[in-house]
Amino acid sequence: MPADRPTIRLRPKANARAIRHGFPWVFADEVVTDRRTRAIAPGTFATLEDAERRALGTVTVNPNSKIIGRVMDADPEAEIDGAWLRARIARALAMRECLFDKPFYRLIHAEADGLPGTIIDRFGDAAVIQPNAAWADKMVEELAEALRDVTGVTTVILNGHGRARGLEGLDERSAVLSGGVDAPVEVPMNGATYLADLIGGQKTGLFYDQRPNHAFAQRMAKGRRVLDVFSHVGGFGLAALAGGASHTICVDGSAAALGLAAEGAKRMGAEDRFATRQGDAFAVMEAMAEEGARFDMVICDPPAFAPSKQALEAGLRAYERVARLAAGLVAPGGYLGLCSCSHAADMTSFRNASARGIGRGGRRMQLLHSGQAGPDHPTLPQLTETGYLKALFFRLDG
């Protein structure tokens, strides 16, 4: 109950105004971390106070994380229970139902949807929860119950893997919390058919965030030869096929992901226009260049090369290398799409790295389009990390 909660207090120089204006994180060096504070169990709810002991809201505390507090509610008297969870999920659901005709989308996008550190992707009658914060890990059963009550899904899967959990001091674990799936789930998106492995696949099984960027590439794909590098289960490649691409090749290091991409192409009736190539993406692009391969459109959607500020310099070099290698595979007058899901690399630095790579590949360029994640991945203006996805589309000459 709120009256029984511990309190954590900001240091005098901490920016209490930012919290009042919606910034959702409290860093460990901003609070008074005495023995009592360090003894708070991860995932405990507490009242956050400023240096003058004025209440700022209800937070969840994790002394094992650099983000020691995450704001749950601006109301210091808020009770975080099943009713509270259902209200947050219902609010998120109402927006998605306005945006999408079918129930395939990101339902909860962490802080931006008011459930800190929590990701929920919906796949029709199934949903996958990623509890990347200690409070959500402790309350995952309550989350699953609220999710079933609000949405009517029957299958709920816990996917407790990834770098974010490690930063919170959480162990990796997976579980089927209700229902079950015995085969990959078919997901319709932009006229293409994707297959998502909800239990054994990467992250939640499918990346919904690229939906609008898939659609942009799809508009230019008709009659063109397309290369989709770092394709996962065929994100851009299958969208291109749905847009009338004459041929698509998907490149990825995962045989399982490429198998799902091939099955998606088959279910679309496009298997005769589809091929895969397994291997390290950099090595495959270098080999294709030696083979003299050229494509009308090349799209690269790599993993996060710069997941932290410490990795930013090396990550930008990797993005530059991707751009240089990919540019060499684009036919004159063709198109190049480059993407980044790195939190630490903002759009300007990513765009500059991409342009350097294209230039060093000996190509001239026009930037046609800059994209971001779809509206089921809303951003919190106060937290730049929620706007992590960047997509750039160029036309190349020379």
Q: Which residues are catalytic?
A: 341
**223: which DSSP letter?**
T
Distance from the Cα of residue 95 to its chain's centroid? 19
Rounded Cα distance, 261 and 196, in Å? 9
Rounded Cα distance, 32 and 49, in Å? 10
Q: Return the structure tokens found at 259.
A: 């198998």
Distance from the Cα of residue 188 to its chain's centroid? 19
**184: which DSSP letter?**
P
The CA-based diameter of the chain, rounded to the nearest angstrom, is 70
Number of other CB atoms surrounding residue 78 within 10 Å: 15
Rounded Cα distance, 18 and 226, in Å? 46
Q: Where are the alpha helices (DSSP H) in the chain?
A: 16-20, 35-38, 82-99, 134-138, 140-151, 163-167, 211-219, 235-242, 255-267, 281-291, 312-327, 347-360
DSSP 3-state of 338: strand
